[in-house]
C-alpha cells in the first residue's frame, strides 16, 4: 500500500511542476522578449511551443 501512496505523490508533484512551468514563462514574457530583443507576442510562442511539446511527448 505504501508504494501506491509514493507513486501517487510523485504523479501529483509532476503534474504541478508541468502546469506551473507554463505559467512561469507566461508571467515573464516582457523580460523574455526584451532579453531576446523580440516583440512580446513572438516571445509568447515559447508558451505555445512548450504546450505542444507536452501534448506530443506526454504519456498516452
**Residue 1: what pLDDT?**
56
11 located within any domain: no
Instruction: Write out the residue range of the structural domain in which residue 52 sits.
Output: 19-60
Written as nine digits, the cell of 28 is 515573464
**Residue 31: what pLDDT?**
92
**Residue 8: what pLDDT?**
92
Cα separation of 1 and 40, whole Å?
49
**Residue 3: what pLDDT?**
73
For the chain, which ranges sit under pLDDT 50? none
User: How many domains are there within the chain?
Assistant: 1
pTM exceeds 0.85, yes or no: no
8 located within any domain: no
Amino acid at each position: 500500500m505504501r508504494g501506491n501512496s509514493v507513486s501517487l505523490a510523485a504523479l501529483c508533484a509532476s503534474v504541478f511542476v508541468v502546469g506551473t512551468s507554463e505559467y512561469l514563462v507566461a508571467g515573464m514574457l516582457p523580460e523574455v522578449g526584451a532579453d531576446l530583443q523580440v516583440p512580446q507576442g513572438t516571445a509568447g510562442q515559447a508558451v505555445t511551443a512548450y504546450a505542444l511539446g507536452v501534448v506530443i511527448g506526454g504519456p498516452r
